[in-house]
Copies of this chain bind each other. A is one copy, B any other.
Amino acid sequence: MGENKKLVEAITSMEVDFAQWYTDVVKKAELIDYASVKGCMVIKPAGYALWENIQRELDAKFKATGVENVYMPMFIPESLLQKEKDHVEGFAPEVAWVTHGGMEPLQERLCVRPTSETLFCDFYKDDVQSYRDLPKCYNQWCSVVRWEKTTRPFLRSREFLWQEGHTVHATAEDAEARTIQMLNVYADFCEEYLAIPVIKGRKTDKEKFAGAEATYTIEALMHDGKALQSGTSHNFGDGFAKAFGIQYTDKDNTLKYCHQTSWGMSTRIIGGIIMVHGDDSGLVIPPRIAPTQVMVIPIQQKKEGVLDKAFEMKERLLAAGFKVKVDDSDKTPGFKFAEQEMRGIPVRIEIGPKDLEAGKCIIVRRDNREKTEVLLEELEAKTGEILERMQKEMLERARKHVEEHTYVAETYDEFCDIIENKPGFVKAMWCEELACEEKIKEDTTATSRCMPFIQEKIAGRCVCCGKPATKMVYWGKAY
């Protein structure tokens, strides 16, 4: 119990200090380590395995919609970055510059990609000639660099891993359809795999991507009531096409500008998993995305037959398609429990000499500690049922959290009071004026998260200025 207690005590309670709890979890669950490069992180095996699972599932969803993977260079010549005016203004302040190659200074400095619109455009301008070449739906998995001042593991770091999709279409309609399609892919993925419910909507002009005509977003609510922008999909219209000269000859033999989109999801979403599902014992990983779903923990493992049975159970569960490990280390069971809980492994199976005799084992869910006594002959079926139920209930619990932390404000006093005292989303009307959006941010630090696709008419007037308003916006403090 001593060791066990030590491990558990090592993390700060989330009610006491959520930020410190988060930092403790990412370290103690061995997801990351800090690197000697300021603002960068080492993604350790447990963290990277989670990313690999996210990658595999998302990649399959992309490919099912006709997306193909490619790889662009990581360097962007300064002149290329500057071709689209809004884009360079948005990104130039936060890029890393390469000025020397080997011993010699470069003729033109290169930035390390913060995102690759300019490279894709430069490529598409030659690759696309005719309507027959369209659409092109390319994606790449890579790392990008943004020279942030303050950083936090997964949420904001100078280098992070992501995928960025870049598509070219013949018409504005096709581009808009692809933009929405990919937003839906992200939303479905978050709900089905990560058990994270999201609000789908459009960003205000202030919050949209540098160079986009429209940015769509999925917004998730963390345990502390702050929002996390979890994936974005941008419709560029023909803005980049005009800046880069991406044209095609249409069926009617006229030259037309293409329409483009881009969309991305990053390792940031791992921060979302931690902050939506975690608790004071550590991480809780949804079963469908967990690198290890079951940890078999033998009790009194030196007693005859216990370890053999534990490994036999592992083999049976592996054969049934589960991801299973046995913790046969020389630690105490209590320590092993605490470790399995800290790492967020969805269920543990306890098997000791008495269970062995009775032909039973105990399955313990990570999220609610529910214990189920299971007959060994029903091991595979019960494990499957319990994991499925857990996945479903994690989503329901997270949904309930969003519902319970979504408020409505009609007046500005109400709005400010909620933002200050009730962490969560605030739904309120907005007149679509930048001034109101800026005032709200100035007064409360809350930002517009999105104009949700599902609009409700809460009131007739802007929550800030009182002028007539027809747009309902989700507001909140955000990561």
| Residues in chain A within 8 A of chain B (CB atoms) | 33, 35-37, 40-45, 48-49, 51-52, 68-77, 80, 93-103, 110, 112, 119, 122-123, 126-127, 138, 142-143, 145, 147, 158-159, 161
Contacts and interface: CB of A to CB of B under 8 A. Distances in A.
B100 A71 contact: no
A69 B45 contact: yes
Contacts of A33: 123, 126-127
Q: When A and B form their complex, which 4 residue pairs have the shortest distance between CB atoms, in order from nearest? A: A40-B73, A45-B68, A101-B147, A43-B71
Nearest to A101: B147
A103 B109 CA distance: 13
A96 B161 CA distance: 21
Contacts of A69: 45, 48-49, 52
A45 B69 CA distance: 6
A77 B39 CA distance: 13
Nearest to A36: B122
A461 B42 CA distance: 51
Contacts of A103: 93
A190 to B, nearest CB: 22
Contacts of A71: 42-43, 48, 51, 143, 161
Contacts of A123: 33, 35, 42
Contacts of A51: 71
Interface centre among A33, A70, A93 (most CB of B within 10 A): A70
Contact of A96 (B98, B119, B138, B145): B98
Interface centre among A43, A101, A159, A161 (most CB of B within 10 A): A101
A97 B127 CA distance: 31
Nearest to A76: B37
Given A35-B122, A75-B37, A75-B159, A70 B45 contact: yes
Contacts of A75: 37, 40, 96, 159
A80 B35 CA distance: 11
11 contacts: A35-B123, A40-B75, A42-B71, A42-B73, A43-B71, A48-B71, A74-B112, A74-B159, A93-B102, A96-B102, A102-B147
A185 to B, nearest CB: 19
Nearest to A329: B132
Nearest to A59: B52
A98 B101 contact: no
Given A42-B71, A70-B43, A97 B100 contact: yes
A42 B166 CA distance: 14
Contacts of A96: 75, 98, 100-102, 110
A48 B70 CA distance: 5
A166 to B, nearest CB: 12
Contacts of A145: 74
A73 B142 contact: no
A289 to B, nearest CB: 16
A143 B159 CA distance: 14
A305 B281 CA distance: 63
A49 B37 contact: no
Contacts of A159: 73-75
A38 to B, nearest CB: 9
B99 A100 contact: yes
Contact of A72 (B35, B73, B76, B102): B35
A263 B333 CA distance: 37
Contacts of A73: 35, 37, 40-42, 159
Contacts of A142: 143
A127 B33 CA distance: 9
Given A35-B119, A36-B77, A143-B142, A98 B112 contact: yes
Nearest to A291: B68
Contacts of A40: 73, 75
A474 B147 CA distance: 48
A189 B71 CA distance: 23
A76 B72 CA distance: 22
A439 to B, nearest CB: 28
Contacts of A100: 96-97, 99
Interface centre among A41, A102, A142 (most CB of B within 10 A): A102
Contacts of A126: 33
A48 B141 CA distance: 11
B99 A70 contact: no
A384 B412 CA distance: 70
